[in-house]
Amino acid sequence: MTDSPADPMAEPHTATGAPAERREGRQKVTGAARYAAEHPLPGRAHGWPLQAAVARGRVRRVDASGALEMPGVLTVLTHENAPRLNEPDDPMLAVLQDARVPHRGWQVALVVAETLEQARAGAAAVRVDYETEAHDVTLTEDHPAAYVPDEANGGQPGTRERGNPEADFDSAPVKVDAVYRVPPLHNHPMEPHASTARFDGDRLIVHTSSQGGTTVRQTLAALFGLPEERITVSAEHVGGGFGSKGTPRPDVVLAVMAARETGRPVTVALPRAQLATVVGHRAPTLQRLRLGAGRDGRLTSLIHEVTTHTSHVKEFVEQAAVPSRVMYASPHSRTLHRVTPLDVPSPSWMRAPGEAPGMYALESAMDELADALGMDPVELRIVNDTDHEPDSGDPFSSRHLVECLREGARRFDWAGRATRARAATGNVLVGSGVAAATYPVMVSPSTASAHALPDGTFVVRVNAADIGTGARTVLAQVAADALGVPLADVRTEVGNSDLPAAPLAGGSSGTASWGWAVHEACTELKDRLAAHAGPLPADGLDAHADTSGTADADSPYARHSFGAHFAEVAVDTVTGEVRVRRLLSVFAAGRILNARTARSQFIGGMTMGLGMALTESSTMDAAFGDFAERDLASYHVPVHADVPAIEAHWIEEDDPHLNPMGSKGIGEIGIVGTAAAIGNAVHHATGIRFRELPLTPDKVL
C-alpha cells in the first residue's frame, strides 16, 4: 500500500503522509452513511421535474389538471405558480421563473407527490404546449456568432499573445499544424444530484449532494430572501461530483420551493436521465495547434486556438488553451478561445476544466512534433522544460516535470519500448505513449475551529465537503500534526453549514484551503494549551482560525503540479478495439498528505482520463437539440474490465511557497494528459494518428 518511494509507514512521528484509512469507510460500505435523498422524514414528499420537450421556444400553456387528479399528487409547480426567486447569480438556477425554454431539457414543471412513483406518473400526465423556434446546436469552426471572450472559465484571459507567433511558425524548420476534437463529456457521479428540504418553524434545513455547502447556503439565502443564520445545509456524504456539484444545481432550488409550497419535507432526486441537461457538461472543443521548432526540438512558436460552445443561459468558456501558457518555453505564442452561444444546455465544470481537453491537444501535438523531429517524446519535453512560467514570466515555486518524466520512464521501462512495439500476436498491435500533466495550485480563504476536550481528545470543525476524497480523514491528519497528538485523538466534523464556513471541494483546492485553517486553529490551540495551567474546564478550550488574511491566491511564484503518464495499449486490427494494458503515472504535487487516499485520487483521475480516451462521449443530436446519451448504458465510463494494471507514483516535493502543509492539489491532475498518452500509444502501435476522441472502434477501423 505504499506507492511513494519513501515508505510512509517509516515515519511514525507524523500523521500526515501516512496511509490512514477513511474514517467513514465502514459507514459507507455497510450502508449506514446517509446521502441527501436518504432522509425519510415523517411526511416526506417527492418531486419529479418535467423537462422541456422542445429545443427552443416558450411554454404557451401547462395543463396540470390530469396530473392533479392522480393518486398522491400534491401540487404541480410551473412558471405560473412557483415561488418567485430573487435573481440568481447563476442563471441556471432561475427555474420556473418564466416561460422561456432556452434548451431542450430545461425544467418547466415540478410534480410533487406522496411517493416518487406517484410524482413520476404525475409528470407523465402534465400536458405542456410550446411555441417552438428554430434552434441551432451545432458547433462549427467558423460559426457567425463566435466571439473571443474577455475571460474564459476561472477568470483566465480569453486570449494572450507574445512575439510574432504566425511569422515565426511560418519560417520554422519543423512544424506541426493539427486540429484535435474533444466531444461533449458528462460528469455522471455515482450519486446523481439530490436534495431534501424542510422548513422547521422559520428555519430551513436542507440535505444536499454538493461540493460546497457554504455556497449552497449563501445561494438559497439570496434566492429565497432568508437570513443565512436560519438556513442549515448538510452535505455529510456526497457520492462524487467532479465539478457538477461545485455550485448549487436546480434540484436544491426545486426542493426548497416545493417544501415551502407544500409545508412538507420534499426530496428532489434527479433521475440520471436528467443530468445530461441540467447540471452541466464539459463543452466540446475544436483545438488547432501549431507548433514551430528548431531542429534541436526547441519550440519557437506555440499557437493554441480553441473553439467551443456555451448556452444562451450563461457564458461558460472551457479554458482549454490555458495549459499552453504554462507548459513549455516558447518565445512566440498565442493562446486563444472562441466561443459560440448555441441552444444547448449550459456547460460547466468537469474534472480539470481547461487542462483535461487542452492537454489532450497540446500533448498529442508534442508527440507529432517528436515524430517530425525523429526525437524521443520524453526528451522533447525535457528539452522544452522551463523554470519560469512562459505566460507570466513568474518563476515556478517548484516544477519537477523532468523528474516525473525520468522516473516514469524508468519504472515503465520506456527504453524497452521499441522492442515491445507492434509485438503483434494475431491481429493485435502493441504500442506505448507518454504525455505530461499539469494543474494549477489554488487556495481560498477558510475558517475552522479546534477544541480540546477535558478527556484529552480534540475536535476539529470545518464545513469541508468530503465528496469521496477522504477529506475528513486528511484534515484529522493535518490537525494531529499541528497539535502534536496521535491521530486517534482527533475527531473531525465536516459537511454542515453550522460548522465554520469553508470554500468548496473544487479546483483541487479543498485540502489546501481547509487544511490551512485547520492548521492555524490547531497551532493556536496548542499554544493556548501550553499556557494553560491545571485541568481543562468542563467545556474544554477552543481556538478559531480565519485565513482570509493569509491564504490569498497572490504569490510571486507560478504554482502548479506536474506529472507524466505512460500508457501501453493493444489495438485489435480486426475489431478496432483499443485496450489499455498498462497505465503508469508519476506526479510532483507537493507533500502527499495521505498515501492511501492520494493514490485513490490519482488513479481515479487516470481512470477518468482512460474513459475520455476510449469510451466517453456525448452526442449532440442536431435535429433533436439534445444529448443522445442519458444513462450509463449509453455513456460509457470505464468499468473494472477496462482498467488495466494502473500505478500512481509520486516524487517527494518540498515546496515552501504553498501552505503550512506544503501540499498542492491532487484531485484533478490525474485526468490531465492521460488521454494524450493513450492516443500517442495508439499511434505508436498503428502508425496512424487519430485526432478525435474517443478512440472507439468505428474510428480506429
Residues catalogued as catalytic? 668
Taking every pair of Cα atoms in the chain, the longest distance, rounded to a whole number of angstroms, is 78
Q: Which is nearer to ligand MOS, 47 or 609 (CB)?
A: 609
Tell me the pairing of strands 541-546 and 447-452.
Answer: antiparallel
Would you give the binding string for ligand MOS spanning residues 249-278, x where CB under 6 A is met?
------------------------------
**Shortest distance (Å) from residue 413 CB to ligand MOS:** 34
For 549, counting Cβ atoms within 10 Å of its Cβ (0-12 exposed, 13-18 middle, 19+ buried), the class is: exposed
Taking CB under 6 A as the rule, does residue 440 contact ligand MOS? Answer: no
Stretch that binds ligand MOS, among 217-225, 236-244, 452-460, 544-552 (CB under 6 A): 236-244
In whole angstroms, the minimum distance from the beta carbon of 663 to ligand MOS comes to 16
401 is written with which cell numbers? 516535470
Nearest to 605 by CA among 663, 672, 650: 672
> How far is residue 553's CA from residue 441's CA, in Å, rounded to a whole number?
9
Q: Residues 545, 546, 549, 553: what is their CA dihedral angle, to the nearest 10 degrees?
A: 110
CB of 363 to ligand MOS, least distance (A): 19
Q: Which is nearer to ligand MOS, 349 or 635 (CB)?
A: 349
Q: Is 154 left (phi over 0), alpha (psi -120 to 50) or beta?
A: left
Interatomic CA distance for residues 218 and 241, integer angstroms: 19
In angstroms, the CA 52 to CA 128 distance is 8
Q: Cβ atoms within 10 A of the Cβ of 349, count?
A: 26
In terms of CB distance, is 47 or 506 closer to ligand MOS? 506
Compute the CA torsion angle 605, 607, 610, 612 (nearest 10 deg).
-60
For ligand MOS, which residue of 17, 184, 358, 507 counts as binding (CB under 6 A)? Answer: 507
Q: Verify binding: residue 152, ligand MOS, rule CB under 6 A.
A: no
CA within 13 Å, CB half, 344: 30
Q: Which is nearer to ligand MOS, 238 or 289 (CB)?
A: 238
Q: Which of 192, 506, 665, 673 binds ligand MOS (CB under 6 A)?
A: 506
Among residues 165, 246, 357, 431, the one that binds ligand MOS under rule CB under 6 A: 246
Q: How many residues bind ligand MOS (CB under 6 A)?
A: 11
- The count of other CB atoms within 10 Å of the CB of residue 539 is 9
As a whole number of Å, the end-to-end CA separation of the chain is 40
Exposure pattern of 112-123 as b/e (b: 16+ CB <10 Å)?
bbbebebbebbb
CB of 191 to ligand MOS, least distance (A): 15
The minimum distance between CB 13 and ligand MOS, in angstroms, equals 33
- Provide, rounded to whole angstroms, the least separation between the CB of residue 241 and ligand MOS: 6
When the beta carbons of 307 and 348 are compared against ligand MOS, the nearer one is 348
Report the residue number, 349 or 562, with the smaller CB distance to ligand MOS.
Answer: 349
SS (H, E, C) 190-253: CCCCEEEEEEECCEEEEEECCCCHHHHHHHHHHHHCCCHHHEEEECCCCCCCCCCCCCCCHHHH
Segment (H or E) for 35: none
- What is d(CA 214, CA 1) in angstroms, rounded to the nearest whole number? 35
Question: What's the closest the beta carbon of residue 494 comes to ligand MOS, in angstroms?
Answer: 16
Which residue, 245 or 325, is less far from ligand MOS as judged by CB?
A: 245
* Range in contact with ligand MOS (rule: CB under 6 A) among 72-80, 242-250, 374-382, 635-643: 242-250
Residue 97, classed as helix, strand or coil, is coil
CA distance 370 to 353: 26
Cβ proximity to ligand MOS, 251 vs 407, nearer residue: 251
Residues 254, 128: Cα–Cα separation, whole Å? 19
Closest distance between ligand MOS and the C-beta of residue 353, in Å? 5
Q: Which residue is nearest to ligand MOS (CB)?
A: 243
HEC-encoded secondary structure of 56-70: CEEEEEEECHHHHCC
Task: Tell me if 243 contacts ligand MOS by CB under 6 A.
Answer: yes
Q: Rg of the chain over CA atoms, in angstroms? A: 26
Residues 342-361 that bind ligand MOS (CB under 6 A): 349-351, 353
- Which residues between 293 and 352 bind ligand MOS (CB under 6 A)? 349-351
CB of 348 to ligand MOS, least distance (A): 8
In whole angstroms, the minimum distance from the beta carbon of 245 to ligand MOS comes to 8
Considering the complex, state which of residue 503 and residue 660 has its C-beta at the smaller distance from ligand MOS: 503
Cell reading at 172: 520554422
Beta partners for residue 174, in sequence order: 293
d(CA 569, CA 578): 7
Smaller CB separation from ligand MOS, 429 or 551: 551
Name the residue nearer to ligand MOS (CB basis): 47 or 470: 470
Residue 211 near ligand MOS by CB under 6 A: yes
- Per-residue contact flags (x/-) with ligand MOS for residues 368 to 407, judged by CB under 6 A: ----------------------------------------
Q: Which stretch, 237-245, 358-366, 483-491, 546-554, contacts ligand MOS (CB under 6 A)?
A: 237-245
Q: Across the strands, what pairs with 571?
A: 429, 578
Distance of closest approach, residue 668 Cβ to ligand MOS, in angstroms = 6
Using CB under 6 A as the binding rule, whether residue 665 contacts ligand MOS is answered as: no
d(CA 88, CA 96): 13
- Neighbour-count burial of 17, counting CB atoms closer than 10 A to its CB (0-12 exposed, 13-18 middle, 19+ buried): buried
Positions touching ligand MOS (CB under 6 A) are: 211, 241-243, 246, 349-351, 353, 506-507
